[in-house]
Chain A
Amino acid sequence: QKEVEQDPGPLSVPEGAIVSLNCTYSNSAFQYFMWYRQYSRKGPELLMYTYSSGNKEDGRFTAQVDKSSKYISLFIRDSQPSDSATYLCATHTSNTGKLIFGQGTTLQVKP
């Protein structure tokens, strides 16, 4: 079993839709949770960061962590064609910088 599981999709939605992306993880020692966005033929870039459980909002993006169920979510409101990319969840424990990534979910937002 992988430490971080993520449905690779692809996920296709119409412009303006609310998008929900999810990951599950197995190690309860994970405390730091991130979402990265990767455009085609580019490196991943940090989109959102959260520590422990709770919500964090940044514009149209909301990251949510539920440590009790080991579940990580990213919500995108009013999705735009420019949001079309692969979204990767990532996590690590408090005593290492070793980032563990999910498989990535490919999102396409159609105009």
Chain B
Amino acid sequence: DAGVIQSPRHEVTEMGQEVTLRCKPISGHDYLFWYRQTMMRGLELLIYFNNNVPIDDSGMPEDRFSAKMPNASFSTLKIQPSEPRDSAVYFCASSPRQGGNYGYTFGSGTRLTVV
């Protein structure tokens, strides 16, 4: 099992550009989570999906952020237009069930820098 796969690993973009982050969850995992990590705010949940359906997007900062999960093996997080304050490490995680005892498997993250 290759684990949760995120791409790209690093992204540097100019302010105002569109950024798309990608995630492939572990096969058979029904839950997918997008987190953002910064030094100031730590790990924050942005949105999560159950069986490809968004369940809670209350953590999405503003309308510039959008997430989709067109099928069970792929999800995207899009930022348009990007701003310097969006610079962070974005993690995708998946889980077979709801509940911490199953453990959330995290990807290695995408380090986004907006200049």
Contact = CB atoms under 8 A, between A and B. Distances in A.
Contacts, number: 60
A34 B97 CA distance: 15
B43 A104 contact: yes
Nearest to B45: A98
B81 interface: no
Interface in B76-97: 91, 93, 95, 97
A75 interface: no
Prevailing SS type, chain A contact patch:
strand
Most buried by A among B31, B48, B97: B48
A42 B4 CA distance: 12
22 contacts: A32-B101, A34-B100, A41-B109, A42-B109, A43-B91, A43-B108, A43-B109, A44-B43, A45-B105, A46-B100, A46-B103, A46-B104, A49-B103, A96-B56, A96-B98, A97-B48, A97-B97, A97-B100, A98-B56, A99-B45, A101-B43, A101-B44
Interface of B: 4, 31, 33, 42-45, 48, 56, 91, 93, 95, 97-101, 103-109
Interface of A: 32-34, 41-46, 49, 51, 88, 90-92, 96-104
Given A49-B100, A98-B45, A98-B48, 11 more contacts: A32-B99, A32-B101, A43-B4, A43-B93, A46-B100, A49-B103, A97-B48, A97-B97, A99-B33, A104-B42, A104-B43
